[in-house]
């Protein structure tokens, strides 16, 4: 694909530099309707691990505005820290599922089915360290009302709340991880947003639930998937998902480090042998979380128990 030489490329280069990233390449892609997009590959200035970030934007999108530029710069700064994780696109759900979120086709596009929504497609893959084939193709739909809250239907402004909506939908057992199958819906509605507090709210959690989440995250993303390399604990994406703050996540991680479960260095943590010794407990939790995602109604029909 031909490299793009546009004002957008120059603006991304400046924002990336401010976030501690460098622009490696710019190529042309296509959105759902075939319109051109700009695909940027970025990497940390010091990139010992060789990890890169893909950012896809509408080709003529102009984020160099007072209300959009700060959010773009913040997004890239967070991504720079997330790139230090062994598997930067991996996340954990509150119920205990380690998953990666991949192949999202940005930006959101208007629905072709006649409904008054915006759509983006992507994939979820189970990441339990066994190369599991379980995954889900998803179609996330954002209502027009919800779209009014979002600064722009582009990746930097929508990725965090979308990923958290995916995790919330998994927690509710409304997505099934399968070996093959059709796209499954992920609704993104105003129920996830408090107009009074002017923030997204996905799950109400207390300190105990948040601490358990940090242990789950560290066990799976570092202990199982990352060869015990440190992972970012103070991720704002997790803070939004858990309805807390990055400072609180660090506070709880520090407390647990004192009890010998986490080895904490700044904002990053790795599991200690004591945490890794809980492997059976975490595997049992994963099995229960997978069971929640199975459609029990269909299972009963297959067993001949349906009342029809």
Please report the DSSP string for 39-56 in residue order. EEEEEESS-TT---EEEE
| Structure confidence at residue 272 (pLDDT) | 97
In angstroms, the Cα distances linking 225 to 86, 218, 230 are: 7, 10, 11
Strands 199-200 and 98-102: unpaired
Distance CA 205, CA 214 (A): 12
Collapsing DSSP to helix, strand or coil, 282 comes out as helix
Distance CA 300, CA 296 (A): 6
| Structure confidence at residue 296 (pLDDT) | 61
The answer to whether 117 and 161 are in contact (CB under 8 A) is no
Distance CA 176, CA 30 (A): 29
- Tokens for 209, please give them: 């639930």
| Structure confidence at residue 6 (pLDDT) | 66
- pLDDT < 70 positions in the chain: 1-6, 114, 296-308
In angstroms, the Cα distances linking 99 to 4, 125, 244, 249 are: 33, 5, 21, 20
| Structure confidence at residue 5 (pLDDT) | 52
| Structure confidence at residue 114 (pLDDT) | 65
b/e for 66-78, b at 16 or more Cβ within 10 A? eebbeebbebbbb
Which burial class, exposed, middle or buried, applies to 120 when counting CB atoms under 10 A from its CB (0-12, 13-18, 19+)?
buried
- Tokens for 191, please give them: 């129920």
| Structure confidence at residue 169 (pLDDT) | 96
Q: Which residues fall within 8 angstroms of residue 31, CB to CB, at 6 or more apart? A: 37, 58, 105, 106, 107, 109
Q: Taking the mean position of all CA atoms in its chain, how far away is CA 146?
A: 19
């Amino acid at each position: 694909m031909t490299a793009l030489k546009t004002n957008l490329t120059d603006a991304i280069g400046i924002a990336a530099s401010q976030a501690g990233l460098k622009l490696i390449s710019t190529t042309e892609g296509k959105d759902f309707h075939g319109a051109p997009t700009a695909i940027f590959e970025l990497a940390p200035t010091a990139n010992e691990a060789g990890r890169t970030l893909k950012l896809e934007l509408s080709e003529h999108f102009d984020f160099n505005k007072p209300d959009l530029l700060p959010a773009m710069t913040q997004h890239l700064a967070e991504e720079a820290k997330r790139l230090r994780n062994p598997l930067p696109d991996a996340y954990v759900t509150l119920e205990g599922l380690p998953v990666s979120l991949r192949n999202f086709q940005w930006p959101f596009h208007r629905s072709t089915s006649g409904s008054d929504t915006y759509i983006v497609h992507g994939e979820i893959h189970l990441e339990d360290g066994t190369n599991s084939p379980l995954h889900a193709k998803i179609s996330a739909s954002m209502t027009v009302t919800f779209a009014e809250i979002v600064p722009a239907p582009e990746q930097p402004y929508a990725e965090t709340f979308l990923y958290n909506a995916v995790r919330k939908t998994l927690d509710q057992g409304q997505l099934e991880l399968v070996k093959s199958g059709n796209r499954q819906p992920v609704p993104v509605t105003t129920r996830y947003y408090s107009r009074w507090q002017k923030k997204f709210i996905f799950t109400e959690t207390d300190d105990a639930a948040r601490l358990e989440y940090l242990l789950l995250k560290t066990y799976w993303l570092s202990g199982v998937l990352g060869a015990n390399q440190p992972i970012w604990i103070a991720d704002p994406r997790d803070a939004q998902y858990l309805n807390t703050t990055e400072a609180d996540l660090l506070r709880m991680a520090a407390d647990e480090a004192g009890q010998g479960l986490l080895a904490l260095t700044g904002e990053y943590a790795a599991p200690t042998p004591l945490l890794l010794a809980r492997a059976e407990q975490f595997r049992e939790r994963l099995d229960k979380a997978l069971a929640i995602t199975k459609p029990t109604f269909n299972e009963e029909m297959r067993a001949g128990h349906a009342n029809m």
